[in-house]
Chain A
Amino acid sequence: AQSVTQLGSHVSVSEGALVLLRCNYSSSVPPYLFWYVQYPNQGLQLLLKYTTGATLVKGINGFEAEFKKSETSFHLTKPSAHMSDAAEYFCAVSGDNNAGNMLTFGGGTRLMVKP
């Protein structure tokens, strides 16, 4: 079975500050990892994904994440927060080769950006 834990349901940063959203996973097979962003009353939008290869993955809107197998982590970062980054962020894992190709999502982290 696979699972995802996002530490911190709410994170608050000042505009221009570093954004760090934490994600730890468990998987019995090499994982595929994803970060999604959700703005109010909208669906989830893919930010970035890790499948194989380079462990540092760059996504849209200046976000990036690093896959660290030894730490079973896939933390999301952005060097400088913008007001428009305020949203909810979901980490997800896949890879257990289940028939439905289902992703397992973390509980989400709401990012607040203070002016």
Chain B
Amino acid sequence: SQTIHQWPATLVQPVGSPLSLECTVEGTSNPNLYWYRQAAGRGLQLLFYSVGIGQISSEVPQNLSASRPQDRQFILSSKKLLLSDSGFYLCAWTERSNSPLHFGNGTRLTVT
């Protein structure tokens, strides 16, 4: 069966520090991969998606970036965090069809 792992679960970082969140999927090949963010009291905001290795599409311009170095690995990064980057970050995957998204357990990021 397929599983998705996302870490760390919680993270507290000072403003201006770098960020690296990692997500891996097991049990499937060539998944579409996604990064979403939930700010406090708000809905889901799609940040990035990837349909293949090295292919990244950005939905919202900001100081975050994403990379997909391997088929089932998706990384969210920042060189310098802002206070506004605080939120709950969710990784998700799906097959190449109109099938459901499968979410990781999320990372709670607090920028202080």
Contacts and interface: CB of A to CB of B under 8 A. Distances in A.
Interface of A: 32, 34, 36, 41-46, 49, 51, 90, 92, 94-95, 99-103, 105-108
B35 to A, nearest CB: 12
A89 to B, nearest CB: 11
Q: When A and B form their complex, which 4 residue pairs have the shortest distance between CB atoms, in order from nearest?
A: A43-B103, A32-B98, A107-B43, A100-B49
B98 A95 contact: yes
Given A99-B51, A100-B32, A34 B100 contact: yes
B84 interface: no
A102 B92 CA distance: 11
Given A94-B98, A100-B51, 12 more contacts: A34-B100, A36-B101, A42-B106, A43-B90, A43-B106, A44-B101, A45-B103, A46-B102, A101-B32, A101-B95, A102-B46, A102-B49
Contacts of B49: 100, 102
Given A49-B100, A101-B96, A107-B43, A44 B51 contact: no
Interface of B: 6, 32, 34, 42-44, 46, 49, 51, 57, 88, 90, 92, 94-106, 108
- Centre residue among A42, A92, A95 by max chain B CB count within 10 A: A42
- Centre residue among B6, B44, B51, B95 by max chain A CB count within 10 A: B44
Nearest to A29: B98
Nearest to B33: A100
Nearest to A101: B32
Contact of B98 (A36, A44, A101, A107): A101
B103 A51 contact: no
